[in-house]
Amino acid sequence: MYQLLSDLSVIEVSSFVASPTIGLYCAQMGAEVIRVDHKAGGLDYDRYMLTKEGRSLSWENLNRAKKSVALDLRSGEGRELCVELARKTGQCVTNLPEKSFLSHVALSDGRPDMVSVRIMGWHDGRQAMDFTVNAASGYPLMCGPEDWGMATAPPVNQVLPAWDFITGAYGAFALLAALRHRDTSGEGSEVRIPLGDVAIGTMANSGSMAEMLYRGADRERLGNAIWGAFGRDFRSLDNQRFMVAALTPKQWDGLVAAFGLTEEIAALEGELGVRFADGDRPRFEHRHRLFDLFQQAAGQHDYDDLAARMSEHGCTFERYRTMHEAANDPVLVGENPLFGPSPANPSGFEYPATRSFANMPEKQAGDPAPAPYLGQHSEEVLVERLGLSSGAIGKLVDAGTVALSDKETR
């Protein structure tokens, strides 16, 4: 955990993935992120999968290094406390609807320099989640085996909620941009980030929208091949699947040498009247002939032999792993400085935890911090942020407006 944002405090009132990711990334850079939840937990507090003690591993990992305040957000007094915490702090991240008690109008009342970042569904107010905006984006109907019929094939959803995580990363960027603007102008900002716009906008930024409009039709399915370049999965003699990619002349030359296909490639070039070293286009347009050659060669060698040869020639490749294999891989996890020792997780389960994805060689990263227990910091934050006395907080606890740590209740 780097301390680049140690002078920043953020109130986060959110659930699920996109909005909590904003706070997570800020916390990993040293910000004080105070997550405010309903006293029984937010909508994601019990999100699958749960440990036998009833602790959500998803919640635990998306809320590392944050502080937790638990309020009765169904009561007027609890909502007033939440809004006042955001006002006092000056910046708030949420995925609650704009027409809620946490509207920007309410937050900025008496605080004209307030910065709010709100994750939405669609720009017109419709609800959405990752898997529904993904359906609208067109990507699921581009996935699947190459021989599937365009008119009859089913969509293939991605397992990773990519739009949520991209939205969270963009939200963290937008928050810091708004704060920088406030530093130079004194002005507050209301930032709304529709999840659907992130999906359809990313599709446009990638060039795919322009491509579809230009061609006047949909792109064909490619299976596991890389669009517009040379790359696909192959199977070795010992039945290992691995992915290769060649986007540069060096990568292409390395693959040809590693697979021992120099003569075969030269013969194919003579037959087709092309030079595959000239760039992506000839390699992509004649990919099926090339795939046949590479698969024939791959099937004559065990994976370890091929991997050694590809490494020797500077190729870009990787073996397919199950996620369980990846989690236990010494290179990916055990020896990777991204991961630090397991902190004292609320679940009680010990496992590697990530530091910030950014690697700053001249700065000390620090060890990963645990997620909080729900309500663990309620008293501390209300004292420090709102100046409430211990007696006042005690009355709020007795009234059920404030909840303290649930460490002993699960």
Active site residues: 164
Work out the number of other CB atoms within 10 angstroms of the CB of residue 335.
9
Query: With the C-alpha atoms ordered 96, 98, 101, 102, is the resulting torsion angle positive or negative?
Result: positive
The token duo for 319 is: 């073996």
Judge residue 206's burial from the number of C-beta atoms within 10 Å of its C-beta, 0-12 exposed, 13-18 middle, 19 or more buried.
exposed
366 CB-near residues (< 8 Å, 6+ apart): 1, 2, 3, 340, 355
Using alpha carbons, select from 279, 268, 277 the residue that is nearest to residue 229. 279
d(CA 20, CA 10): 12
287 CB-near residues (< 8 Å, 6+ apart): 225, 230, 232
d(CA 113, CA 110): 9
Query: With the C-alpha atoms ordered 140, 143, 147, 150, is the resulting torsion angle positive or negative?
Result: positive
d(CA 95, CA 17): 10
10 within 8 A of 93, measured Cβ to Cβ: yes
Q: What is the chain's percent helix, strand, coil content, to nearest 5? A: 45, 15, 45
